[in-house]
Structure 1
Amino acid sequence: MTSEDIARPKSEAHAEGAGGGHEHGHGGVLGPNTEVIFALASGGALSLGFALEKLAAGVPDWGPLALYLIAYGFGGLFTVREAFENLRQKRFEIDTLMLVAAAGAAALGAWAEGALLLFLFSIGHALENYAMGRARRAIEALAELAPRTAHVRRDGQVVELPVEDLRVGDTVVVRPNERLPADGFIVEGTTSINQAPVTGESMPVDKQPVADAAAARARPAQVGPASLVFAGTINGAGAIEIETTRKSSDTTLAKVVRMVSEAETQKSPTQRFTDRFERIFVPLVLALAFVLLFAWVVVDEPFRDSFYRSMAVLVAASPCALAIATPSAVLSGVARAARAGVLIKGGAPLENLGSLNAIAFDKTGTLTEGRPRITEVVPVRGTREADLLATAIAVERLSDHPLAEAIVRDGAERLGDTGLEAATDLKSLTGKGVTAELGGETIWIGKPEMFGADGVAALGDEATAVVVQLRLQGRTLMVVRRGARDLGVIGLLDTPRAAARTTLTALRALGVQRMIMISGDHQKAAQAIAGQVGLTEAWGDLMPEDKVDAIKRLRADGKIAMVGDGVNDAPAMATATVGIAMGAAGSDVALETADVALMSDDLSQLPFTIGLSRRTRGIIRQNLYVSLGVVAFLVPATILGLGIGPAVALHEGSTLLVVINALRLLGYRDPAGDRTPNEIPVARQGAPADSRIPS
């Protein structure tokens, strides 16, 4: 997928979405800046005509008039085109109002005022479009990160092909310092890769080949982060070969660009309010202008003056700045977040993030590393430790749950290289544990609550005593039973993230009032982790459906965000005001389910994102004050005699002011600079540069 392919849907939608139908993205015979050139030509003709009329003696009247007509032509061309298009679609908008006002001025013989109106309106919109284009280009630059060609092994040779011709399963050769052309996993070579373009991570990430290419090919979603690579990232000093897992149109980068593009058209609560306001306000303005047409009946003045005042009010009350105030800020905020590896899907989550009352955190993989380790292996009487571990490993090899991986990894280290039986027929008991068949017997492995419920026999006294003892130490427990005999208990402990405590401190400094950890682990285990990361609230023993109920209770007290991995926590995230997925790069489920996706597995992106949202809300409020304030001043001022020229100058000035104010978001940095996610590098290509235990 080329950058043009990715960007085109967004650009088309944007003409009506983010700008609310008030943007002039016009090119023409003189290129993309045609409207600016025409506006300047209009200003030049207007200035020359005014100079001839006021300063030159003996100049015939048709001279200045001809120049004013030229100014009308250059200044009104795009306005006429836009007004015609709006009327054809049965829309009556700002362009039509301006055109009516200019025509009214001409009908009164006020050619200079009409030309000035069209000049200021056209130059204002041309500059507005230029400024808004800067925010759009910040997003479209994402699409330029992926190279256009790739070096692929085909028939024993390395050939250069367009990325659109890559197939799933192709082997791509990536040289040092090149950008990666596709998503995939490394099959040859070691290197470090700068993943900032996708994840926002500040440091390059070490990468190595997969241990088993056939297994990775069969289950690409289970490839570990140490071997997983993304299109658009930058290779380090080592040459590598990767096997592609997605077409160019389906890469993580392409999905991010598409989703950010779609996010631009999603209206925020403030924007929906302004839309409703405009639907009421515009008819009122038209009614007021119509009434003012007949002011001469009540006030002793000629019809010409009443008509001129009516046209001036039309100009002054047109809510152009109001229409662009919110979408310009949302667009800039979404673009800035995308540059830092944070995907925000529209104005609603962007605004809601800035007004959160509480944040709920999943434990495993969010506040902790998600890599639990075995701390205790306690067999019950009559069972050897080796038999307990061998049984657990044989079953857990069939599972991809993080706890299962820990048992297999650490258990194999403890047990050594010995022959193990092969388990079969693994079945998952959601939120509780698993069963499998081994040596003709049924094996049960899971949390202690699984035993003594739903027809499963209760634990014996000895196993129960071990469970009580280990729980007091805050361990996550896995009980192993073979047939009708309890074999023992395995205790595991997850490691808190290094950034967890500082991140929570930063969130408190941003004004987040309440933070809660929710987990499927036992309450003691949840409290143990919470104490290590600095949380005062920890809710344990929660099944997946219990997490949803917990979020509902919290949401009753105000806006709540749920931070999780986007997979096991998808229902709770969907219930929250804002769902935030950690480490979403390469995860289709996380990208689809979350309102906000932190592309890297980096908790420190969260304060940056919430800080950006709060700044965005502040700028939106500033823009609304400016746009409504100018209208509130200009309407009575024009009724009392302020001319069209000054009204247009103030009107268009306020429009530019709100856009420029919104563009400040593109340079937003977290006040605590060490927590600011890395921005997308601008280096050129080739330049250095089983859902069992809810967690």
Structure 2
Amino acid sequence: MAQPQKLRLEIPLLLPALPQIKDHCVTRLIDSLEARDGIATAHVADAVSGAPPELCIHYDPSIISLGKVQDIARAAGAELTDRFGHLLLRMEAMHVRAARSLTAKLQALQGVVEAEANATGTIRLEFDRRQVQEGALRSTLSAMGIAAETRPAKAMVPTGQPLATPTGQRPDHAKPNADGPSDHAAHEQGCDHGHDHSDEAHGKDAHGEHAGHEHAHTGGVFGEKSELIFALLAGALLLAGWLLQWQKLASGAVSTACFVLAYAFGGYFTLREAIDNMKAKRFEIDTLMLVAAVGAAALGQWLEGALLLFLFSLGHSLEHYAMGRARRAIEALAKLAPETALVRRDGKTEEVPVAQLQVGDTVIVRPNERLPADGFVVVGQSSVNQAPVTGESVPVDKRAVEDAQAALQGFDKLPPQHRVFAGTINGPGVLEVMVARQASESTMARVVKLVTEAETQRSPTQNFTEKFERIFVPLVLLLVGVLLFAWVVVDEPFSASFYRAMAVLVAASPCALAISVPSAVLSGVARAGRGGVLIKGGGPLENLGTLTAIAFDKTGTLTEGKPKLTDVIVAQGIDEKELLAVALGVEEHSDHPLAAAVVNGAKERLGDAHQALDVQGLESITGRGVKARIGADEVYIGKPILFDELKGEAVPADVQAANERLVADGRTTMIVRHGARYLGVLGMMDTPRPVAAQVMRELQKLGIKRLVMISGDNQKVAESVAKSVGLTEARGDLMPEDKVTTIKELRASAGKVAMVGDGVNDAPAMANATVGIAMGAAGSDVALETADVALMSDDLAQLPFAVGLSRQTSRIIRQNLWVSLGVVAVLIPATILGLKMGAAVLFHEGSTLLVVVNALRLLAFKRPESLEPTPAKSSAPKL
């Protein structure tokens, strides 16, 4: 058997409009490839900064050739793309129970592989074209009252790159294809393969009006407020009937008529939902309520039955309001970008719709206007409020790039002082911005799409409560059936047994349980999105709230990612200014990252007093340092090992001792020699973020017991940084595979662990953590796709906000569960022992309202005050 070979293929080209890397089609593609002779394994490759996600295929070249592997992969991808389609639809918010019923209906449709409807009105569908065509499926959905606009399928990343590269030979993903799309991409652009995520669709018909929907319960003479108005009318009629009966202001027939009308208004929407459930062969809580109300009427207890339906319909309408509010918090993001933009084309300015902006267009943004697109500044200087996208409360200064074309090719890698996002707010200066992404692919649009998809992801507790209900409801019905025959055992009339059974039916219906978890999860996801944190569903939200350990990457996460000159130690008899001047003169001609640190640090220390030196013949000594000439003398700057290899005097003892002290403190060091004289040693360090220490204190306050750094740097550097920011542990000298092993060990010992990194280089470790958290995800396709939680800004201070919000969400979920289950546990024996139906109704529906209001508290959650930045004075010119 020959040595196995590896081949990397870009997933977006194999599956052109894949909605996300975790889509089922990726799993199907891997299974298809691994079933072929000669292919050992296939897996999603470790992410590479700036590159689209790739599939790594391990194959035996003695059995199958490289070209054959490519052909098989292309064919398998094309087959899956042709076979499976995806739809992401939007409609009016609905009740949680209605969403479950709709999910069951959708899953039962011919050709639907997977379906999930959410209470906020998000519907996610995957269908098999071998069983149903998209047009027929859309027609079926339309007949059900679900309508959506059709938009072209969108890929995760731009296509048009080379299809395959052997391992170690990556294409330059930053360079656009000047010759246009490849044949494969062109083919995909010409054919609708249907990975259609209509994330912009809002359930509107051709005239822009919201299509009616039987599950949304918003149809009626009063529009979307119909159910609330019906509930209030039921309440008014109930009150009128009770007053007439209590004060004996009219005959019993008049008060009974009021109660009957209260039945009609209070039970209208409940009856509709119950009919839908029975059509779907589901026996839900709505049906139990109706049976209890009919039972009360049969016994002549019209008042209690009307009270039941009034409170139940009121709870429904408030639940609907809660879901709608959670959804509106997300939809508000989509409306932040302006509808038009002022564009400069051919020397003229014109106002065009944002949807018509093209990559490379230059837009003019006046003071206090919202930016229309993702791009970078080419003219002007200002400060921009990025809170709508990144959650940063302090405006960020922006200035123009030096090379617009280079910036356009490497937009993802641009520093934050140049890059701007759609929906953010310009400050006092006028900016000219070159568009780097179309409106549909802006960071804001992708966040809205990902949050919309996240809304359909169930949390572990939500799955548990639904399983519990499926077992509990039949048991309740069995208990009610037994209680109906209590008159056989107990000396009482049948009417008394029947009344007790109906009271138990009301008391045992788990209405509060059904709404307790989804209302909290949706409110938490919505609040996080408004604060610049993208949480992909209930699972990551709950897990983040129950963590006991967090692991951090060092470079760029705990530290600023840029080394700084921190120490200057001169040799005996040498002036510090001479050492800095020589180092500055030489390193100014080098492009090494450490050279920039020396140059910046030396200029800062010398100020305007230094004079430029005449430096000649700079040479790089690979892995050691640099060599140059100043006048007649040679200058060497580099690692201590360099001077062991050079001729001449050894490093003096005082310089050697200073170097060892700096290394022990975690510094990267460089010794400077000018001619025969040793001038001294320079110490550099990737300095911790200023806010890092406070972040660690806040996390410990939140109950995170273990804060661990995992780094590829040496152990001393790792320990130095860990000590300075307040981590509990530091583990250095780790290769990528060692980081994965460390995460697995932490999971085994701590239970749940999060991994915080940049979402790219740390992807393997993040994938093995309970929760993967990416920092600085705004504008980064890979970070947004790979992480469970994405901190949109490059701000570590967002982490305690995310953990604190998740902690609060977990607390509210637990509170809601205790309330909902506790009320049921108390009411069942109480009603069996004689508690009246009216009291049971009040407690039952009161608990439902309580859990909804409790969940809505999450929308007002605030970040820790100690991490609120002080607004900085903008350096931008004022007009």
**TM over 0.5, yes or no?**
yes
Question: What are the equivalent positions in structure 2 for 1:406-417 lying under 5 Å apart?
Answer: none
| Pair 667,375 (structure 1): closer, same or farther in 2 beyond 3 Å | closer
Give the structure 2 partner of residue 8 of structure 1: 90
Superposition deviation, residue 302 in structure 1: 2.4
- Aligned equivalents of 2:781, 2:615: Cα separation in 1: 38
Query: Secondary structure in 2 aligned to 1:371?
Result: strand
| Residue of 744, 764, 772 corresponding to 1:579 | 772
Length-normalised TM-score, structure 1: 0.81
Residue 503 (structure 1) aligned with residue 503 (structure 2): no
- Aligned equivalents of 1:615, 1:674: Cα separation in 2: 18
- Aligned equivalents of 2:306, 2:870: Cα separation in 1: 48
- Aligned equivalents of 1:470, 1:461: Cα separation in 2: 19
Residue 367 (structure 1) aligned with residue 558 (structure 2): yes
| Pair 536,115 (structure 1): closer, same or farther in 2 beyond 3 Å | closer
- Aligned equivalents of 2:303, 2:411: Cα separation in 1: 69
Query: Secondary structure in 1 aligned to 2:358?
Result: coil
| Residue of 259, 282, 286 corresponding to 2:477 | 286
Residues 371-407 of structure 1: CA deviation (Å, up to 9, x unaligned): 12467999xxxxx9999969963xx6xxxxx779769
Give the structure 2 partner of residue 429 of structure 1: none
- Aligned equivalents of 1:628, 1:570: Cα separation in 2: 40
Give the structure 1 partner of residue 80 of structure 2: none
| Residue of 829, 832, 835 corresponding to 1:639 | 832
Residues 397-436 of structure 1: CA deviation (Å, up to 9, x unaligned): xxxxx7797699899999989899999xx9xxxxxx99xx
Residue 564 (structure 1) aligned with residue 757 (structure 2): yes
| Pair 338,69 (structure 1): closer, same or farther in 2 beyond 3 Å | same
- Aligned equivalents of 2:584, 2:688: Cα separation in 1: 29
Query: Secondary structure in 1 aligned to 2:397?
Result: strand
Superposition deviation, residue 278 in structure 1: 1.4
Q: How many pairs does the alignment contain?
A: 628
Give the structure 2 partner of residue 381 of structure 1: none
Residues 1-57 of structure 1: CA deviation (Å, up to 9, x unaligned): xxxx99936958974455599996534321221111111212222333344455447
- Aligned equivalents of 2:853, 2:262: Cα separation in 1: 27
Superposition deviation, residue 497 in structure 1: 0.9
Give the structure 1 partner of residue 287 of structure 2: 96
Question: What are the equivalent positions in structure 2 for 1:95-244 lying under 5 Å apart?
Answer: 95-244=286-435
Residue 268 (structure 1) aligned with residue 466 (structure 2): no
| Pair 321,560 (structure 1): closer, same or farther in 2 beyond 3 Å | same
Q: Which segment drifts farther, 292-301 or 45-54? A: 45-54
Residue 613 (structure 1) aligned with residue 806 (structure 2): yes
Query: Secondary structure in 2 aligned to 1:567?
Result: coil
Question: What are the equivalent positions in structure 2 for 1:74-93 lying under 5 Å apart?
Answer: 74-93=265-284
Residue 592 (structure 1) aligned with residue 775 (structure 2): no
Length-normalised TM-score, structure 2: 0.65
Query: Secondary structure in 1 aligned to 2:363?
Result: strand
Superposition deviation, residue 477 in structure 1: 7.4
Unaligned runs of 5+ in 1: 379-383, 397-401, 427-432, 435-446, 449-457, 480-488, 680-687, 689-695
The CA RMSD measured in Å over matched residues stands at 3.9
Residues 194-224 of structure 1: CA deviation (Å, up to 9, x unaligned): 1111111121110001110010112212211
- Aligned equivalents of 1:80, 1:586: Cα separation in 2: 48
- Aligned equivalents of 1:651, 1:115: Cα separation in 2: 15
- Aligned equivalents of 2:93, 2:232: Cα separation in 1: 26
Give the structure 1 partner of residue 445 of structure 2: 254
- Aligned equivalents of 1:526, 1:156: Cα separation in 2: 54
- Aligned equivalents of 1:40, 1:105: Cα separation in 2: 21
Give the AA of the match of 2:420. V
Query: Secondary structure in 2 aligned to 1:369?
Result: strand
- Aligned equivalents of 2:516, 2:252: Cα separation in 1: 45
Task: Indicate if the aligned counterparts of 2:218 and 2:227 stay in contact, CA closer than 8 A.
Answer: yes
Superposition deviation, residue 549 in structure 1: 0.9
- Aligned equivalents of 2:704, 2:555: Cα separation in 1: 22
| Residue of 288, 311, 317 corresponding to 2:508 | 317
| Pair 58,514 (structure 1): closer, same or farther in 2 beyond 3 Å | closer
Give the AA of the match of 1:662. A
Superposition deviation, residue 168 in structure 1: 1.9
Unaligned runs of 5+ in 2: 1-86, 101-116, 122-213, 570-581, 605-609, 625-637, 672-680, 872-877
Task: Indicate if the aligned counterparts of 2:94 and 2:323 stay in contact, CA closer than 8 A.
Answer: no
Query: Secondary structure in 2 aligned to 1:217?
Result: helix
Task: Indicate if the aligned counterparts of 2:94 and 2:320 stay in contact, CA closer than 8 A.
Answer: no
Give the AA of the match of 1:30. F
Superposition deviation, residue 71 in structure 1: 1.6
| Pair 198,256 (structure 1): closer, same or farther in 2 beyond 3 Å | same
| Pair 655,60 (structure 1): closer, same or farther in 2 beyond 3 Å | closer
| Residue of 852, 861, 877 corresponding to 1:659 | 852
**Between the two proteins, what is the percent identity of the paired residues?**
62
| Pair 612,58 (structure 1): closer, same or farther in 2 beyond 3 Å | closer
| Pair 34,676 (structure 1): closer, same or farther in 2 beyond 3 Å | farther
| Pair 521,377 (structure 1): closer, same or farther in 2 beyond 3 Å | farther
Give the structure 2 partner of residue 603 of structure 1: 796
Give the structure 2 partner of residue 527 of structure 1: 719
Task: Indicate if the aligned counterparts of 1:471 and 1:522 stay in contact, CA closer than 8 A.
Answer: no
- Aligned equivalents of 1:20, 1:375: Cα separation in 2: 52
- Aligned equivalents of 1:343, 1:498: Cα separation in 2: 24
Q: Which segment drifts farther, 19-28 or 74-83? A: 19-28
| Pair 391,575 (structure 1): closer, same or farther in 2 beyond 3 Å | farther
| Residue of 528, 531, 536 corresponding to 1:345 | 536
Superposition deviation, residue 146 in structure 1: 1.4
Task: Indicate if the aligned counterparts of 1:19 and 1:324 stay in contact, CA closer than 8 A.
Answer: no
- Aligned equivalents of 1:676, 1:390: Cα separation in 2: 38
Give the AA of the match of 2:693. R
Give the AA of the match of 1:554. L
Residues 549-577 of structure 1: CA deviation (Å, up to 9, x unaligned): 11111111121111111111111111111
- Aligned equivalents of 2:92, 2:401: Cα separation in 1: 37
Give the structure 1 partner of residue 737 of structure 2: 545
Give the structure 2 partner of residue 68 of structure 1: 259
Task: Indicate if the aligned counterparts of 1:183 and 1:244 stay in contact, CA closer than 8 A.
Answer: yes
- Aligned equivalents of 1:582, 1:614: Cα separation in 2: 20
Residues 650-681 of structure 1: CA deviation (Å, up to 9, x unaligned): 111100111111222222224x41314899xx
- Aligned equivalents of 2:397, 2:859: Cα separation in 1: 30
Higher relative contact order structure (alpha carbons within 8 Å, sequence separation ≥ 6): 1
Residues 59-81 of structure 1: CA deviation (Å, up to 9, x unaligned): 373x4443333222111111111
- Aligned equivalents of 1:665, 1:571: Cα separation in 2: 32
- Aligned equivalents of 2:740, 2:660: Cα separation in 1: 28
Task: Indicate if the aligned counterparts of 1:341 and 1:599 stay in contact, CA closer than 8 A.
Answer: yes
| Residue of 330, 354, 357 corresponding to 2:521 | 330
Query: Secondary structure in 2 aligned to 1:231?
Result: coil
Give the AA of the match of 1:355. T
Task: Indicate if the aligned counterparts of 2:95 and 2:319 stay in contact, CA closer than 8 A.
Answer: no
Give the structure 2 partner of residue 399 of structure 1: none
- Aligned equivalents of 2:378, 2:844: Cα separation in 1: 61
Superposition deviation, residue 498 in structure 1: 0.8
Residues 130-171 of structure 1: CA deviation (Å, up to 9, x unaligned): 244333322322222211221122343222222222222221
| Pair 285,19 (structure 1): closer, same or farther in 2 beyond 3 Å | farther
- Aligned equivalents of 1:417, 1:634: Cα separation in 2: 90
